[in-house]
Structure 1
């Protein structure tokens, strides 16, 4: 089967997408991919084709690449978008550049659109070897999937079964030109060291190493799929609704998870956490044991890369975004008009507004509220009785009439007579 036919066959599930966008660096791999897709686009009824070049600005020679990419795209009659990104300094320039690149690709994708990248079989084999040396688990050893969600669309890698040698042959046959990134020769980078110093030795002894390692990655992907199916089965009993509909945080019931073996607990949590945060390494899973085994009154938490997992009221709760910072001073109360609370969502009054001077506040301790038929009650005790998670309590907006506590956000059952039939509605902050 020709390279064009193989490519078309792999991309067939996305032939009805609104658009295909090729991640075009100007290097050999993406040059061949763009050339192939431009030819296919002229021969078949395929989605509109455009190219996107991410300019990292990490080296002076890269300033000439957008011009080269523009000339090549003009020759193919494919529109090109050049996006410049800032790569923050850090321990790993490779990783920071990758995050910036994929972040830009995700931002530019419309609903249902597909971004097509040019990673090939040799890249897949290198990825597996690299992750094996880092001690990755099954998820990591599955290497790069053919497709995955990205932003509002999909990322597709249609060349994972194609060798670099095949791409080079195609490029020579069609007299294509491409740019060479000088940093690709720098063996101070781990991947370049594997590619230039380790890989030639491996292939000298095992000529089919790339094909074999890519096949192993496929086996790992299948194993990961099975682990995912097991995780979904194990998570089903734990995925019960939280007791407070207004608290729209990802959460799980803890008791069903505790009935599983340690390995199945970790597998289920990896699956659940994957869309929420970068997953922890093996050593960091000690945080899960500490969270799981802490005393109920310890308010345990497990800090992860992009947020934290809390245990409260028999559930696990995922917190990120504004939930990781303390809310700041409250603005003046605006009655029935929603008031944005800095770092803490928004609040408004529903119903007939009580008279008198009204103001918002947060808990400081010692608050009491007068309940009809129950007298003055301590707010802390009421919150304990209601099973409000501890990490929420200091965020609940309080409405005062003068010095009298009149209402607690989203808890109309504690409504003094002075509040009438109205309610203080709190729109809790987004966790994303």
Structure 2
């Protein structure tokens, strides 16, 4: 057995360490994120003492010279404790955005693995402790974070299909280190943890010790600050949700009149919440007031917009739209075959036969607007300009350009039979389509 795999004979961990780990409940599978360092090694021992069937996952970032030795240590540790271990190597790729250094890139890679690993009902335990929380609050303060950032790390949150829990968040690192030594545990230190070119290491090794010497009990003070900011953030989110519901609670549209009736702080709060609800990050702007003024005060015939990461905020008439980046459309028209699914940008299009289907049918093709198209609502009725019809329906310009137009017949004699999910000829819809074929056009709004 590897030395240090189990606590020294006769040593019992105190209830102050065991109780928060025991309190984790309601899981299908319980995982421990095992780096091989002191904190996660101790957490694994505590989890094994408190719960049956514990699993572990080790992320090998392949960045340090001792990465292979640390992986072997984790294998031996888990083998000695009878814990199934998943080893996941990752390649860390540096981004080119602000704050996307090596630390952030490694974190993104690590959490990407965790999200893919966790299944519904799974809980992943992470060994963040009180010093980590203090470090996080200060780090975010220096980066200019608001109350959401200064709330620090939550004790629990969703992650992928499962949940993340940090049972040691209220315990100081010195206490963890004391009991790890008393228990005779061994671990592997990451040599990069002493490199002060990384901001967090500089905070941990230089700034925090000086602050703690000046203000004893600093961790508890910062915990209190994080708690107060967490409550403020909760109230901000609750207020934004109530205001959003009062404005019609549409996922990607907000009425300009409703937003304009709010104060500037309320406008900013609602927009941040609304963007976050859609799964995006609100842009970091030095002057939100100017941006909001451009978006909300523009005349109805203007189309101001704000481009952000993965989406654009657009103004059309009296509404503000959140428009995700959409996949590219085909360069050429696509012919739609029977029982075939065509993915057209954000659209999914199918042609299904019904009980009255005939073997032969006219060709059907999909394309975008070229200009001059006309539609006919009834076979013998008058035609109407598609451009004018879309304007009457207040379809935003950027959506008009992407709408799939579906035509039946040979080129030069074609008939428009569907316009996205806005309209479909009665010959191809309903419970018994006249043509014997049902045209299904759906928009993927995820």
Q: Report the TM-score, using the length of structure 2 for normalisation.
A: 0.85
**Deviations 1:100-136, CA, capped at 9 Å, x for gaps:** 1111101100102111111110111111111111111
2:48: which partner in 1? Answer: 38
1:297: which partner in 2? Answer: 301
Is 2:322 the partner of 1:318?
Answer: yes
Is 2:319 the partner of 1:347?
Answer: no
Give, in angstroms, the shift of residue 11 of structure 1: 5.0
Contact persistence 1:238–1:252 (CA under 8 A) = yes
Instruction: Please point out which of 58, 69, 74 is paired with 1:69.
Output: 74
CA distance in 2 between counterparts of 1:255 and 1:163 reads 50
CA distance in 2 between counterparts of 1:390 and 1:416 reads 28
Contact persistence 1:23–1:53 (CA under 8 A) = yes
Give the secondary-structure state (helix, strand or coil) at the position aligned to 1:60.
coil
Instruction: Please point out which of 386, 410, 413 is paired with 2:393.
Output: 386
Give the secondary-structure state (helix, strand or coil) at the position aligned to 2:346.
coil
Give, in angstroms, the shift of residue 327 of structure 1: 4.8
2:274: which partner in 1? Answer: 272
**Structure (1 or 2) with the greater helix fraction:** 1
Contact persistence 1:238–1:255 (CA under 8 A) = no
Task: Note the 1:213-232 alignment, pairs <5 A.
Answer: 213-232=222-241
2:183: which partner in 1? Answer: 174
1:361: which partner in 2? Answer: 367
2:37: which partner in 1? Answer: 27
CA distance in 2 between counterparts of 1:9 and 1:238 reads 45
- The answer for unaligned runs of 5 or more in structure 2 is 1-11
2:8: which partner in 1? Answer: none
CA distance in 1 between counterparts of 2:253 and 2:312 reads 12
**Deviations 1:74-120, CA, capped at 9 Å, x for gaps:** 11111111111121123411111111111110110010211111111
- Greater shift, 249-258 or 398-407, is seen at 249-258
Give the secondary-structure state (helix, strand or coil) at the position aligned to 2:334.
coil
Shift in CA distance, 338/259, structure 1 to aligned 2, threshold 3 Å: farther
Task: Note the 1:114-129 alignment, pairs <5 A.
Answer: 114-129=123-138
1:255: which partner in 2? Answer: 257
CA distance in 1 between counterparts of 2:54 and 2:138 reads 33
2:169: which partner in 1? Answer: 160
Give the secondary-structure state (helix, strand or coil) at the position aligned to 2:114.
helix
CA distance in 1 between counterparts of 2:168 and 2:110 reads 19
1:246: which partner in 2? Answer: none
Shift in CA distance, 122/427, structure 1 to aligned 2, threshold 3 Å: same
CA distance in 2 between counterparts of 1:307 and 1:378 reads 31
Matched positions, count: 415
1:149: which partner in 2? Answer: 158
**Deviations 1:321-357, CA, capped at 9 Å, x for gaps:** 5x2644543432114x243234333212466689433
Over the residues paired in the alignment, what is the CA RMSD in angstroms? 2.6
CA distance in 1 between counterparts of 2:342 and 2:24 reads 42
Give, in angstroms, the shift of residue 287 of structure 1: 4.0
Shift in CA distance, 430/230, structure 1 to aligned 2, threshold 3 Å: closer
Contact persistence 2:21–2:47 (CA under 8 A) = no
Is 2:433 the partner of 1:427?
Answer: no
**Deviations 1:339-380, CA, capped at 9 Å, x for gaps:** 323433321246668943332221112212234465232111
Contact persistence 2:33–2:58 (CA under 8 A) = yes
2:146: which partner in 1? Answer: 137
Task: Note the 1:202-221 alignment, pairs <5 A.
Answer: 202-221=211-230
CA distance in 2 between counterparts of 1:292 and 1:6 reads 54
**Deviations 1:227-248, CA, capped at 9 Å, x for gaps:** 122122111112445xxxxxxx
CA distance in 2 between counterparts of 1:420 and 1:412 reads 16
- Greater shift, 162-171 or 231-240, is seen at 231-240
Is 2:27 the partner of 1:17?
Answer: yes
Give the secondary-structure state (helix, strand or coil) at the position aligned to 1:39.
helix
Contact persistence 1:278–1:305 (CA under 8 A) = yes
Give, in angstroms, the shift of residue 292 of structure 1: 2.8
Contact persistence 1:327–1:342 (CA under 8 A) = yes
Is 2:347 the partner of 1:332?
Answer: no
